């Protein structure tokens, strides 16, 4: 799953992920709210949950860290299946500290996504 308010980033990252062949489906959400709505529609369908969420930090209305506040309330079975990597076009020290301190974030990645880094992240998850 990709969560990013930037349509161009969504398209580029979706294509990059598609080219890797690592995932059978790519779910693109234009906001944290859209992603939360998607998750609430899957309340009893754990098999349809994404295994990896690439979450943009800087989004209007609900940024990546605000999304994580909602995410931490999800059932533990849900959180065990869905790993989160945060994405940022600027890696400032505050974002790095907040991401590293969050137990649900497995990595903070710089935009644009790099194919090798994405493959390594997916490989680490399997």
Q: What is the mean pLDDT, run by run of 10 residues, along the chain of 126 residues?
A: 95 90 91 94 80 94 96 87 89 87 93 86 67
What pTM was computed for the model?
A: 0.91
Contact 22, 119 (CB under 8 A): yes
Query: Could you tell me the end-to-end alpha-carbon distance of the chain, in angstroms, rounded to an integer?
Result: 16
Distance CA 112, CA 110 (A): 6
Contact 52, 58 (CB under 8 A): no
Cα separations in angstroms, 36 against 4, 44, 104, 106:
13, 15, 16, 19
Specify the pLDDT at position 124. Answer: 67
Specify the pLDDT at position 105. Answer: 96
């Amino acid at each position: 799953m990709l969560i990013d308010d930037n349509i161009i980033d969504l398209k580029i990252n979706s294509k990059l992920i598609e080219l890797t062949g690592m995932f059978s489906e790519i779910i693109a959400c234009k906001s944290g709210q859209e992603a939360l709505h998607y998750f609430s529609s899957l309340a009893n369908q754990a098999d349809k949950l994404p295994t990896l969420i690439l979450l943009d930090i800087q989004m209007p209305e609900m940024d990546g860290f605000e999304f994580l506040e909602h995410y931490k309330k999800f059932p533990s079975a849900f959180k065990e299946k869905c790993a989160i990597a945060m994405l940022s076009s600027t890696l400032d020290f505050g974002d790095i500290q907040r991401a590293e301190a969050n137990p649900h974030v497995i990595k903070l990645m710089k935009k644009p996504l790099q194919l090798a880094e994405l493959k390594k992240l997916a490989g680490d998850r399997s």
